[in-house]
Amino acid sequence: MRIVRMALIIVFLLSLSLFGATELVGLIGMDRTMPEISSDREVLEIPCEYTEEQLLEGVTASDGTDGDLTSQIIPGSFSRFIDEGVCNISYVVFDSSDHPASLTRQVRFTDYHPPRFTLTEPLVFAEQEGNYAEAMERLSASDQLDGNLEDWITQTDTDVNYQRAGSYTMTVEVSSSMGASSTAALPIHVVSPENLSVGITLTSGIVYVQAGAQIDPGEYVKEVTDARGGTMDVSEVSASSEVDTAEPGIYEIHYEAEDSSGNYGETWLTVVVEE
């Protein structure tokens, strides 16, 4: 029995020695270097329609064992805006031993503007025919980074009475996933059905222009039809504009037309003058 016991002890000691030697070899061969990412600029400037190549401009990575790892850098997601059009983005890279390195830098979108509202047609309704649902169906919003924001629009205030002719206002707001928001007090007109006998179709229900820009009311008239549905010349539409492009704000252009039988039509274009 003593011989067997001694043999077991010897086997155990040999196994322990072999395990220790294996661990020692592993420790000696272990990659102890860590990768690093660096940037040649504090702020990356890119357009809203950026490419991954533009997103990676100016960042490099290296590792003492693996060498250059720049081609393996992975860009992460953007943070919420810390200023208009400015946010943070993180980058990560791994070496062959799965050691990570990360870097965060600022990104400025050079052509970014807050979300804008769109209208499929002007917010003009015949008495007793319009309603909140129809007004919201014409309204949408978009963001240069998020795309369509229609589902995120909320009405915050309104004085509209769709049963009585008059000029009203509906205030709406929308926010993007990055934290940019827009609010607009949109004019709504409720008119007598006779005032819609002549149809004036515009290219859009709302347009955005920069402060100081010139605006031609005629370029937004797409089509005109008389009370019988016949086509009229767009030159027969008259426009009166209250737009002051020197002052940011929300304005309107009023369009009117009359056919050969004396039937009348009117509509309005909402114009947002941005800073």
Write the DSSP assignment of 43-64 as a string of letters. EEEE-SS--HHHHTTTEEEEET
Question: Of the candidates 10, 198, 35, 2, which has an alpha carbon nearest to the alpha carbon of residue 102?
Answer: 35
For residues 3 and 62, which has the higher predicted lDDT (pLDDT)? 62
Share of the chain above pLDDT 90, in %: 88
Assess whether pLDDT exceeds 60 at residue 9. no
pLDDT of residue 257: 98
- On whether the CB atoms of residues 65 and 31 are closer than 8 A, the answer is yes
Confidence of residue 5 (pLDDT cuts 50, 70, 90): low
* Mean pLDDT of the 235-249 span: 97
Domains of the chain: 36-109 (2.60.40.10), 116-274 (2.60.40.10)
Q: What is the pTM of this model?
A: 0.83
pLDDT at 33: 86
Report the distance separating Cα 162 and Cα 203, nearest Å: 24
